[in-house]
Amino acid sequence: MRTIQFREAICEAMSEEMRRDESVYLMGEEVAEYNGAYKASKGMLDEFGAKRVIDTPIAELGFAGIAIGSTMTGNRPIVEYMTFNFSLVGIDQIINNAAKIRQMSGGQFKCPIVFRGPTASAGQLGATHSQAFESWFANTPGLKVVVPSNVYDAKGLLKSAIRDDDPVIFMESEQMYGDKGEVPEGEYAIPIGVAEIKREGTDVTIVSFGKIIKEAYKAADELEKEGISCEIIDLRTVRPLDQDAILKSVKKTNRLVILEEAWPFGNVASEITYIIQSKAFDYLDAPIVKINTADTPAPYSPVLLAEWLPNSKDVVKAVKKVLYK
């Protein structure tokens, strides 16, 4: 297989779907003339023209509403946010319109739309540009939430998201756009709602998603040197959540650590913890441990930011805790 960057995988997925279906179009800030803030739409304006690759004003509420409305006339828009922090300006449209059109119209209208862009921290960008909103959107019935962690998954999941007849929140990372990975030449899509075991293990299950899962891989490598075998599950999709994959793994390892780049109160890890204790309590040999950011806005200081973010050392410590080591 060929090796491409994360940003190229995103661009390929969008371009392939736009060639396949003329109702698909892209809109957002700097997606056209500038080739995307992160160059994830490079060359798309030249290929598809200004009617299908549309630069917008800095007005997320406005262009989110335009895109959602266009689904009711047969279009399948992709809306890019320069960061999901900016989606808060248009969150009324996402929560009160996109997520509810199908139900409130009695099934007369569907809302096939993808909202995509980077989530969570990306270095020293300050508190208002470093927030993870996966659990916010996943809390809303009617929305699907996808958070890929690698190049291969990003392309396959984005193609499925664009083809989906419901609104999909597709969350990337500014720190992953330059990541490289193998992607096949041919057509492929990854179904939404299916987690994947990225690493087989027997002693403990580690569940994670998005860019922070890299810290789980580092921790697993360190723990392997001590004879501890970690099974790592990449959720890939936060909603719908692949409960069966997690349950099956926990029933094998009897221990669970959840790693998530989000504030500790009311997050995805909290929901997984409830699911496991309610459906697999008798299989647990230790309390579940979840690892999150500190319960504060993200600091700007590099020293404080390093303390705020979860890392591989936190994962090693958590694994040893559930193993009573």
Beta bridge partners of 301: none
Which strands sit side by side in the sheet containing 24-28, from one edge to the other? 53-55, 24-28, 76-80, 114-118, 168-172, 144-146, 237-239
SS (H, E, C) 243-307: HHHHHHHHHHHCCEEEECCCCCCCCHHHHHHHHHHHHCHHHCCCCCEEECCCCCCCCCCHHHHHH
Is-catalytic flag, 182? no
Give the tokens for residue 267: 């997050």
The residues, ordered by sequence, that sit 6+ positions from 56 with a Cβ below 8 Å of its Cβ are 27, 28, 29, 31, 62, 63
Q: Which of 8, 17, 29, 60 is catalytic?
A: 60
Please check whether residue 267 is in contact with residue 260, taking contact to mean a CB–CB distance below 8 angstroms: yes
Cis ω on the peptide bond leading into residue 240 (within 30° of 0)? yes
Is-catalytic flag, 60? yes
Q: Which of 8, 17, 80, 129 is catalytic?
A: 129
Angle value at C-alpha 275, between 273 and 277, nearest 5 degrees: 65
CA distances from 119 to 21, 70, 139, 148 (A): 28, 25, 16, 11
Helix (H, G, I), strand (E, B) or coil at 92: helix
Residues acting as catalytic residues: 60, 129
